[in-house]
């Protein structure tokens, strides 16, 4: 352990405490709930739900001068993606009702309905996690760009 590194620096390797990372990820969750619950919102509200949270992530990374914004926002995006996966799985029956997705083509009727559902839920979860990570990565790269432009 390096005694020359301040305690707060050692504790927050991702640039922010865990509760703040979770809080930033949670800012993006209302859009997921609205979508999965079948809610309809107008364009300005939808734009705010989609673009507002990553803009807040960007602002936090730049204004707090987070040492590695890409890593920090990848973590936030990963938490967001995990949250999306959980919400999608919780709302699965509400979204699909009695018409769950089915495999087609050569895989049609090859698996039991339960196995098909498991395949789709796992795929949906992986997709949700990847989407969250991509949002975090893009936002982190934008934070690096903004910081470099601000130095000039």
37-80 pLDDT tens trace: 888 889 999 999 999 999 999 999 999 999 999 999 999 999 99
Q: What's the pLDDT at 98?
A: 84
Domain region containing 134: 16-151
Please check whether residue 129 lies inside any domain of the structure: yes
Q: Is residue 4 part of a domain?
A: no
The band of 5, judged by pLDDT with boundaries at 50, 70 and 90, is low
Do 98 and 114 touch, CB atoms closer than 8 A? no
Q: Are 80 and 132 a contacting pair, CB within 8 Å?
A: yes
Domain assignment present for 143: yes
Count how many domains the chain has.
1
pTM metric for this prediction? 0.86
Among 138, 131, 128, which Cα is nearest to 57's? Answer: 138
Higher local confidence (pLDDT), 84 or 11 = 84
């Amino acid at each position: 352990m390096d005694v020359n590194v301040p305690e707060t620096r050692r504790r927050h390797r991702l640039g922010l405490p865990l509760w703040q990372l979770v809080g930033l990820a949670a800012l993006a969750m209302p859009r997921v709930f609205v979508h999965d619950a079948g809610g309809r919102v107008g364009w300005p509200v939808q734009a705010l739900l989609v673009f507002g949270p990553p803009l807040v992530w960007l602002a936090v990374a730049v204004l707090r001068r987070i040492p590695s914004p890409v890593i920090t926002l990848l973590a936030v995006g990963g938490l967001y993606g995990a949250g999306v996966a959980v919400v999608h799985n919780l709302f699965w029956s509400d979204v699909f009702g009695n018409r769950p997705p089915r495999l087609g083509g050569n895989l049609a009727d090859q698996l039991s309905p339960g196995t098909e559902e498991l395949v789709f839920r796992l795929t949906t979860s992986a997709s949700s996690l990847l989407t969250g990570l991509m949002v975090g990565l893009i936002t982190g790269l934008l934070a690096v760009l903004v910081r470099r432009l601000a130095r000039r």
